[in-house]
Amino acid sequence: MALDRLENGAMLMADSEMRRMVADLPSPEFETTAFTSPPPLTDATVALVTTAGLMRLGEEWVPQEGQAGYKVFGRDERDLVVGHQSMNFDRTGIAADRNVAYPIDRLDELTAGGVIGAVAPQHLSFTGPIMDLTTVVIDTGPAAAALLRGDGVDVVLLTPV
Amino acid sequence: MCTRVVGTLAHVIEAAGLATVALSLVRPQIERSRPPRALHCEFPLGRPLGRPGDPAFQRRVLEAAFALLERPAGPVLEDFPETISDEADQPLACPLPPRFDPATPAAVDEARALRPAWERAREAGGGTQVGRVVDADGIPDAVAAFVRIAAGLPWTEADLPGDPAAVAMDIRGYYEEAALALADHVLAARAAESWLYRTTETGAILKAAMAEMAQASPAYERIFYLVPMSQQ
């Protein structure tokens, strides 16, 4: 096996390398941090927003550089694939169990157990490789928030990949 | 880059009057974003809830995240107390199928032979990640296209069934899902990735094709996405 790079210690952990590479990427600076007090979790409607670039099987895949938009999925949709174009993260986890990045089944269970009030009717997926986040801040992010508010969402769990 | 997008979205959504909790996979990014509430999870990239197939562990992550909603003010950044590392340095060890058709390129032969394993994985997992641009039926032909590129045919003439990086992504998904069945357990993060690119015929072809395409004219502008950086 071609493990030279591992044996010389240069790349023992692929994720460590990636984390070092992206650690200093600039992020938008917010002068203040908004803070909203939610209702008790047992009464709250919870939605997921992931950056896994989820898409439906059969949908046309398009390159995602700079794509600041999002897709909307119903709470019962399960045939979703990771359309995120980066090769630099593990994909077997979500292939074996979607919940490791998109914990929709866990939310259903928490609802059934009375831990959260309800699962939102719709959930969103952005995609991760967005260098310029301006459009997310001024356009698609607020539109996503308005959509979720319209669905009566109280709490949003955001998951990266 | 996903953690900085998550952190940014948390600010925007919270400002619209919804309470947010962001999971983080890259701590320096979430420290810089300073969203209202964040739980940093030192887990493999691609696995923000840590352990696939372990609902109890995932519920503990969710409970830790939702507990941040009880804080009276923010920003709040906490660390999940357990960490998980990828195992890119430990490729899955499993026997590869023997040569079946010597007249067929070895990588294509291999891709065909892995179909039963891929089928088992699909049935076990209730779905597949293969099919962004190529479904399982098209994988051997897609591999054949990369064989031609690796042999020197210009990528624009190789009859790839779609964008090269997207096709490569589906090939990777097909192999990694087959690996899940061959291993018969949930693999550590990146163990199947290292198996594909370091031990299989198709992995070698994808890397050789990438090397050819790096010299190509016209250039393929998304060559960065053909093979994971850790495997190049």
Say if residue B132 is in the same domain as residue B71.
no
Q: Is B100 within the bounds of a domain?
A: no
Please, how many CA atoms are within 13 Å of residue B180, restricted to the half-sphere of its CB?
29
Pick from B24, B129, B150: which is nearest to B75 by CA?
B24
- Separation of alpha carbons B215 and B122, rounded Å: 37
Pairing verdict, β A155-159 and A45-50? parallel
Pick from B215, B172, B42, B50: which is nearest to A97 by CA?
B50
Tell me the torsion sign for CA atoms B93, B128, B82, B22.
positive
Q: Is B149 within the bounds of a domain?
A: yes
Taking contacts as CB-CB distances below 8 angstroms, the residues of chain A near B171 are none
* Of the listed ranges A6-10, B91-95, B128-132, B161-165, the one predicted with least confidence: A6-10
The answer on pLDDT for B138 being more than 90 is yes
Residue B13 near residue A34 (C-beta atoms within 8 A): no
Task: Find the helix or strand (DSSP H, E) in which B179 lies.
Answer: helix B164-183
Please, how many CA atoms are within 13 Å of residue A39, restricted to the half-sphere of its CB?
12
Domain that holds residue B58: 3-79
Q: Does B107 touch chain A (CB under 8 A)?
A: no
* Of the listed ranges B100-109, B172-181, B207-216, B218-227, the one predicted with least confidence: B218-227
Question: In Å, how far is A81's CA from the nearest CA of chain B?
Answer: 5
What is the model's pLDDT at position B110? 97
- Our measurement of the distance from residue B132's CA atom to the centroid of its chain's CA atoms, rounded to an integer in Å, reads 13
Say if residue B123 is in the same domain as residue B72.
no
- Our measurement of the distance from residue A17's CA atom to the centroid of its chain's CA atoms, rounded to an integer in Å, reads 21
Question: In Å, how far is A79's CA from the nearest CA of chain B?
Answer: 7
Pairing verdict, β A71-74 and A118-119? unpaired
Write down the mean pLDDT value for chain B.
Answer: 94
Written as six digits, the tokens of B148 are 């031609």
Say if residue B122 is in the same domain as residue B58.
no
Q: Which amino acid is at A51?
A: T
Whether B58 and A100 lie within 8 Å, measured CB to CB: yes
Angle between helices B115-125 and B106-113 (to 10 degrees): 40
What is the model's pLDDT at position A63? 74
The DSSP code for B148 is H
Pick from B49, B40, B37, B36: which is nearest to B3 by CA?
B40
What is the model's pLDDT at position A5? 46
Instruction: Give the closest of B66, B85, B133 to A41, CB-based.
Output: B66
pLDDT tens-place values along chain A, 161 residues long = 333 444 444 444 588 888 888 888 888 888 899 999 999 999 999 999 999 999 998 888 877 666 889 999 999 999 999 988 888 899 999 999 999 999 999 999 999 999 999 999 999 999 867 778 889 999 999 999 999 999 999 999 999 99
What is the model's pLDDT at position A2? 32
More confident residue, B181 or A58: B181
Q: Is B221 within the bounds of a domain?
A: yes
Q: Is B226 within the bounds of a domain?
A: yes
Give the contacts of B127 (CB within 8 A, at least 6 positions apart).
A78, A79, A98
Q: Is B36 within the bounds of a domain?
A: yes
CA B143 to each of CA B88, B122, B136, B159: distance values in angstroms, whole numbers, following the listed order: 23, 20, 11, 11
Say if residue B120 is in the same domain as residue B210.
yes
Say if residue B54 is in the same domain as residue B135.
no
- Separation of alpha carbons A12 and B86, rounded Å: 10
Written as six digits, the tokens of B197 are 């690119």
Say if residue B63 is in the same domain as residue B110.
no
Say if residue B124 is in the same domain as residue B159.
yes
The DSSP code for B161 is S
Written as six digits, the tokens of A1 are 């096996």
Written as six digits, the tokens of B214 are 């790096």
Written as six digits, the tokens of A144 are 């996503």
Taking contacts as CB-CB distances below 8 angstroms, the residues of chain B near A100 are 46-52, 58
Say if residue B71 is in the same domain as residue B118.
no
Whether B49 and A159 lie within 8 Å, measured CB to CB: yes
pLDDT digit string, tens, across residues B42-82: 999 999 999 999 999 999 999 999 999 999 999 999 999 99
Say if residue B143 is in the same domain as residue B45.
no
Pick from B176, B231, B226, B9: which is nearest to A94 by CA?
B176
The answer on pLDDT for B229 being more than 80 is yes
Q: Judged by CB atoms within 8 Å, which residues 80-139 of A form the interface with B?
A: 81-101, 103, 105-107, 109-110, 115-116, 126, 128-131, 133, 136-137
The DSSP code for A90 is -
Say if residue B113 is in the same domain as residue B218.
yes
Say if residue B48 is in the same domain as residue B120.
no
Q: Is B211 within the bounds of a domain?
A: yes
pLDDT digit string, tens, across residues B5-43: 999 999 999 999 999 999 999 999 999 999 999 999 999
pTM metric for this prediction: 0.92
Instruction: Give the closest of A96, A99, A148 to B18, CB-based.
Output: A148
Q: How many domains does chain B have?
A: 2
The burial of A20, by beta-carbon neighbours within 10 Å (0-12 exposed, 13-18 middle, 19 or more buried), is given as: exposed
Q: Is B156 within the bounds of a domain?
A: yes
Q: Is B99 within the bounds of a domain?
A: no
pLDDT digit string, tens, across residues B74-114: 999 999 999 999 888 888 998 888 899 999 999 999 999 99
What is the model's pLDDT at position A75? 97
What is the model's pLDDT at position A53? 92
Q: Judged by CB atoms within 8 Å, which residues 169-188 of B form the interface with A?
A: 169, 172-173, 176-177, 179-180, 186-187
Say if residue B126 is in the same domain as residue B220.
yes
What is the model's pLDDT at position A7? 47
The nearest alpha carbon in chain B to A34 belongs to: B15
Percentage of chain B with pLDDT > 90? 83
Written as six digits, the tokens of B216 are 């190509």
